[in-house]
Structure formats: structure tokens, C-alpha cells
Amino acid sequence: MKSKPAWTRAIGATAMAAVAALYIIPRAGSDSNPVNIAVSRMVPVAVIDSATMSDAWDLPNLDNPRVDSWVTRFTTSPTMRRTLAIWLDRKTSYDDMISTKLAERDMPQELIYLAMIESGFNPKAKSPAAAGGLWQFISETGRRYGLTVNRRVDERNNPGKATDAALSYLSDLYDRFGSWYLAAAAYNTGENRVGRIMRETTGSERGTDADYYRIAKRLPAETRDYVPKMIAAARIAKEPDKYGFEVPETEARE
């Protein structure tokens, strides 16, 4: 899966979204209403933000009010601002390792921010749902992707091994859904749920990044904000001085 220049991918994503609005092909045996699908496809829920798009982005940098809302929260709420500053500082410890592994797989570099919003780059983080580590795997999924998780050893807390497992999982999700935004949503809330909602809403599991916003209202609240939060964190991290954050030392040397 070779990467293309960011601007060509952005144009391609826009073109695909436009074509999707015109051609509605329900799956055979689907109960989806073609009229409802057509209406949902025509709603202009996400567009390319030309002001922020640059060759530094691998993921489409889609503009959406939810992204703007998270940028505002991260930059104006004292608590969230302090939290993001801590995350940005911790990020420098994992930048090289995760970036290298992403590059080896030709995966978007911005997926590093998925780890940021999952764990705040705390390799020993644990969630109320018993997810653990840098990428917040539950035990079952961790084992499915090659991690040892038992009473004596928990490789979810090993940053390198957990990153390998997470990127394999995300790659499989991308192959299923055809979109990194949808892959991220599935990573958060479960692939079968995203697949079912996509089939019911668009007639197909596979879609575009813009489809994430088309199905967002049917996703759990946490997942509805999952990608916007990731993109907002990426926007700030790419231009920290613009938002009044101190530039991490490793980035200041670039």
C-alpha cells in the first residue's frame, strides 16, 4: 500500500465522495431504503479544509465542526490544555519508534495521534473496560494480534510489541472498510458495529473518510468524537506555536 502525495489523496477523497453521492447501489438482499441512502449521501457533512491541508498530512484533513470544537477545548480549557501539553511531551519518547513502524507499512503518520487519544502515551494506562497499554488493547484483541496477555506477562504494556499489534489491527480494519477514519472508528467501538451501521446507512461496509461523519450520529458518543479528537490533536501538534503550546524539544531541532 504505497503512499501517494497528500494533495493527490485529498483530491481523490473529494472525488470519491462526490461519486458516492451520485451512485447508490444497495447490496443484494439489503433492507436499506435507497431513498434514505441517497439523502444521507447528499448531505455535505465534510469537506477538505484547504487552509490546513498540506503535504505534511498523510490522512485527509477533513474539516468538521466537531474537529473545531476539540481544537477549542484543547486550547481554551485549562485542564485539557495541561493534559494535551503532557501528551505532547510524552510523544517525544515514542515518535521515532512509531513513525518508523508506520513508514515501514506505508501507513499514515497521523495514526500516532490515535495512540495519543487512547492512552496519552502512557504505556501502563488502564481503562475502566480493562483495556491496557499505549494502544489500549482489550485482552482478547491483544492475543488475536500476537500479544502475550496472562497473569505473569502483559505485552500490551510493551510499547514496541503493542505498536506492531495495533498497526496490524488497523491495517486489517482499513482493508475491510477502505477508509482510515472508519478503521479508527472500528478500532474504538468494534468492527462489526461499524460494518453493520455502514451497511444500513450506505449499502456497503466499504466507504470513504467522509462516510465517518455520515454515520457519526449512529455511533456511540465516544466514537462520534474519536476521529475529530484525533484530527484536532494532530492539527495542534503539527503547529504547536500557532496554538500557544511549547514546541517539544525533538521537533524544535527539525
pLDDT tens-digit readout, 104-150: 999 999 999 999 999 999 999 999 888 999 999 999 999 999 999 99
What pLDDT, on the 0 to 100 scale, is given for residue 139?
A: 94
| DSSP string over 164-215 | HHHHHHHHHHHHHHS-HHHHHHHHHH-HHHHHHHHHHHHSSS---HHHHHHH
Q: Is the dihedral of CA 198, 203, 35, 11 positive or negative?
A: positive
Catalytic site includes residue 251: no
Active-site residue (options: 118, 155, 191, 205): 118
Q: How many CB atoms lie within 10 A of CB 178?
A: 18
pLDDT of residue 107: 98
| Domain spans of the chain, in order of start | 6-252
pTM of the model: 0.77
Tens digit of each residue's pLDDT (9 = 90 or more) over 217-227: 999 999 999 99
Q: Is residue 205 left, alpha or beta, with left meaning phi > 0 and alpha meaning psi from -120 to 50?
A: alpha
pLDDT at 46 over 80: no
The architecture that CATH gives domain 6-252 is Orthogonal Bundle (1.10)
